[in-house]
Structure 1
Amino acid sequence: MHSTKPTTGPALHIVDVPVRWSDLDADGRVNNVLVLRFAEEARMQWTSVLGTSTEAPELMPVVVNVGCTFHTPIGYPATVRVSVHCTRIGRSSVDLCFEIRDASNPEVHFATATAVWVWVDKRSGRSAPAPASLRERCNKALSGMEMHSEP
């Protein structure tokens, strides 16, 4: 299993996600499972920007490990800002970290989520090299050269 240590390095992608009333649980805070959906949304928007489905249509990404540390509850109304970070890139896998903060006050840190993503050949079901654009962006970020755009 790969390490999914949180990072403070440069973000690969940043997205703002509004909290919906229906995201709240009976205690009036965002349900823990939905915090992982915020990370999922940021991850999928990032790969859409990269164009990985067009670049490598024979591949599919599979989440093989996911985790989350909750720092403070998320209420309503709110907008969360999710920043996507790469903590490790391998031949076919990438370790990602998602910092989930209050978009209007970034000092408020709601959660840190992690995921290990493996790229798989759709036909064989075996791991395959990650798309070149993803590898390039992660390598730049890990070397401190990657820049991101604000939401």
Structure 2
Amino acid sequence: MTTNPFKKRRGLSPAITTLIILGIAVIAGVAVFQNFQSQSSVASARGAITVENLALIKNPSGELWLSATIKNSGNKQIDSTAVNLQVDTDSGTPGIQPFLANPSPAALNPGQTASVFVRVVDSGGSPVTSVDVGQSIPVEIRGTTPDGSVVTTPTSVMTSLA
């Protein structure tokens, strides 16, 4: 009588096979979850600017002074910032040519603030005096992120007397 040497070999038990498949499924699930988490954190990166302080002051000689403090309230760096005061700085050009002020520092990390205090002048360098005390002027705060997206915060400021 010949004995078959393969007859004594047995396959894996169903319990061990189930454990192996379950382990593979758990490892694959963890890998998918980590990939999703990293993708969602990239997708939720956003730039945002909030206005902490904004004042437009008219001194007794009629000159306007703009004071602004802005904050990067997003979770993305902002490379450049600008405060656009919607007063006409060039009456010879059709449409409103806004007064542009650049806060310092220009680049803002998340949570960082920047400020500007500047005399409002027209395109020729003369002070703008056409705004009355109590007049509300539109302002646009603008920031550009490293990927080129633009963040804007529209607001307004009431002219006050110094």
TM range (shorter): under 0.3
TM-score (normalizing by structure 1)? 0.26
* Structure with the bigger percentage of helix: 1
Q: Give the greater-gyration-radius structure (CA).
A: 2
